[in-house]
Structure 1
Amino acid sequence: MARVVCLHGVGSQQLGEEQLLKDWLPALQDGLTRAGAPGLLGSGDVAMAFYGDLFLPPRRTLAGADPFFSAPDVEPGWETDALMAWWAQAAEVEPQVMAPAAEGTLGGISISVQSALIALSQSRFFAGLAERALIFDLKQVRRYLTQPGLRAAARARLRALIGADTVAVVAHSLGSVVAYETLCALPDHGVRALITLGSPLGIRNLIFDQLDPAPADGIGAWPGSDTLSWTNIADRTDIVALVKDLRPRFGARVVCQLVPNGSHAHDATHYLGKRETGAALSAVLR
């Protein structure tokens, strides 16, 4: 089994294990080099747990693209609340993004949804991401949290790659939720380090309160033995990682660090190539 198992985030449904590793492995190597620990990983030491295909629609004639979503497809409840949270965070960290205004409706569509999509189109964070892709990403997170079969299948992809040789799990974005829940459900696993990048795990109501296992008295379960280290790394302007400090949610043992990822704040390879990621990984690879 691989020494390091990686887990991608949303928006990867059209890719696959090898395509993702082609970008992730060099970035991991760069992070180790920045941390003064080059040469600790070979290509066979890293595996990618791929679950993106679980979000693809069923096969049908002449269907190859993702669904064409627009504002009316943003469902009330979780999806609208998450979109509004992204909007509020974007307005807070990016001056060019207008702040949320009053609620209302226009033609049966919530003004807040339409306004949020328009506002987020001005965000550097979502630059180059079409409206349909943004909504598809939103729905991926909601589906993971609300569809037990999909949730179990995603966790099974990671569980199948964790073996006696696995010392670290590196997870980005929604993948950090999958990784956390999988490790919590694995009795006596030998993983020594969990590294979460751009993670939404700390967002109350939307993510944290929906976790399995459920938090007890406002504190999430620790995803391993007392010797497991957990490093959470976030960019200050990463809108998905709305809560940067996970310690109030999961305890003081979580090491939380901020890194500058530039205009692509949520990009996985930007996170992987940082010294902080390399240092957390090299600590268990040496």
Structure 2
Amino acid sequence: MTRIVFVHGIAQETGGPQTLLADWYPALLDGLTLGAGTGIPREEVSMAFYGDLFRHAGHRGPGTPELDAGDVEDCIERELLLQWWESAAELESRVSGPEDRSRLRTPHVVQRALDALSHSTFFAGLSERLMIGAARQVRRYFTEPILRDQVQQRFADAVTDRTEVIVAHSLGSVVAYEALCARPDWPDLALVTLGSPLGVRNIVFDRLRPEPAQGRGRWPAPVRQWVNVADRGDVVALAKQLGPRFGDRVRDLSIHNGARAHDVRPYLTAAATGRAVADALAGPL
């Protein structure tokens, strides 16, 4: 019966599909009501859940293991934290910006990044452990092939022959994009991405499967329409517009989520998101 499949992002390893739906479904209803004056029954919405694949076992304390700047690995983890830092500094005057970070050793520059991010509105209240854990999940997705395949299979298992719309948030947009590209025989679907990092060069875009060619990502064959929604202050969605990377068929929309720029709930309650989902459910444009 599933017409809409949600795909969550990072930091959901201690949750579950029903737990997330308890937040996501009412938020979507608000967006649909505000944007299109419509709704959808609960039984027609499901969650492609993969967070438990990142859940650690056997360490002290709940959630992500204790981590500090010295645990940050070079390449994806380091670069992602530094890009978040640079973006936060551009958006908020109270966040000190990086200098010539290329000359600094990894633990030192990462510690400066973590200290600066802790003063940003976007990362307020998040511990260093959680910020590093978020970057680590991105790194693991792209560098552990078995895990990557398992995550995408969770998404594929959630999609049925009645599914019409995929609503994917954050890293979930990467999962959905890659899985859709790998299944050109699937029936037509609409894709709505929220706070997506798909356009972020070096860290995400250039690591996609299939590999982009000449600076352009492949269009996922089953997708008949694609709406991308981004908040200007969303540090995770560093590239706010996906059209330049995936073609002018992508419709990029800008919204304002307030202090919770990357939180999925204000993304879902936005009228622009509600209209996009309602249009997709109504059929091809």
Do the two structures share a fold, i.e. TM-score over 0.5?
yes
Is the contact made by 1:4 and 1:170 (CA closer than 8 Å) also made in structure 2? yes
More deviation in 259-268 or 96-105?
96-105
Partner of residue 186, structure 2: 189
Is the contact made by 2:55 and 2:63 (CA closer than 8 Å) also made in structure 1? no
Partner of residue 217, structure 2: 220
What is the Cα deviation at residue 61 of structure 1?
A: 7.6
Cα deviation code 1:195-251 (max 9, x no counterpart): 0000000011110000001112211111124x6110000000100000001111100
Cα deviation code 1:63-100 (max 9, x no counterpart): 64321011101111221111111110000011110010
The amino acid that maps onto 2:272 is: E
What is the Cα deviation at residue 60 of structure 1?
A: 3.0
Partner of residue 11, structure 2: 11
1:77-156 aligned at under 5 Å gives the runs 77-103=75-101, 104-105=103-104, 110-156=107-153
More deviation in 163-172 or 59-68?
59-68
Cα deviation code 1:132-190 (max 9, x no counterpart): 01100000001001110010000000101111100000000000000100111112212
User: 2:172 aligned with 1:175, yes or no?
Assistant: yes
What is the Cα deviation at residue 192 of structure 1?
A: 2.4
What is the Cα deviation at residue 23 of structure 1?
A: 0.4
The amino acid that maps onto 1:88 is: E
Partner of residue 279, structure 1: 275
Q: TM-score, normalised by structure 1?
A: 0.94
Distance in 2, matches of 1:68 and 1:6, equals: 30
Is the contact made by 1:168 and 1:191 (CA closer than 8 Å) also made in structure 2? no
Cα deviation code 1:115-134 (max 9, x no counterpart): 10000000000011111011
Distance in 2, matches of 1:109 and 1:207, equals: 20
Distance in 1, matches of 2:7 and 2:26, equals: 15
Cα deviation code 1:17-58 (max 9, x no counterpart): 00100000001101111112323x10101000111111112x
Change (3 A) 1:199 1:118: same
Is the contact made by 2:74 and 2:106 (CA closer than 8 Å) also made in structure 1? no
Is the contact made by 1:13 and 1:53 (CA closer than 8 Å) also made in structure 2? yes
User: 2:200 aligned with 1:203, yes or no?
Assistant: yes
Is the contact made by 2:87 and 2:235 (CA closer than 8 Å) also made in structure 1? yes
Runs of 4 or more consecutive aligned structure 1 residues displaced over 4 Å after TM superposition: 61-64
Q: CA RMSD in A?
A: 1.5
The amino acid that maps onto 2:158 is: L
The amino acid that maps onto 1:38 is: T
Per the alignment, in what secondary structure is the counterpart of residue 6 of structure 1? strand
Distance in 1, matches of 2:43 and 2:278, equals: 16
The amino acid that maps onto 1:185 is: A
The amino acid that maps onto 1:254 is: V
Distance in 1, matches of 2:48 and 2:188, equals: 15
Distance in 2, matches of 1:49 and 1:258, equals: 25
Is the contact made by 2:171 and 2:197 (CA closer than 8 Å) also made in structure 1? yes
Partner of residue 27, structure 1: 27
Partner of residue 38, structure 1: 38
Distance in 2, matches of 1:199 and 1:43, equals: 25
Change (3 A) 1:76 1:3: same
Distance in 1, matches of 2:106 and 2:90, equals: 25
The amino acid that maps onto 1:245 is: Q
Distance in 2, matches of 1:90 and 1:191, equals: 38
How many residue pairs were aligned?
281
Distance in 2, matches of 1:30 and 1:15, equals: 23
Distance in 2, matches of 1:150 and 1:50, equals: 14
- Unaligned runs of 5+ residues in structure 1 are none
Per the alignment, in what secondary structure is the counterpart of residue 160 of structure 1? helix
Distance in 2, matches of 1:191 and 1:271, equals: 24
Counterpart selection for 2:66 from 65, 68, 72: 68
Per the alignment, in what secondary structure is the counterpart of residue 35 of structure 1? helix
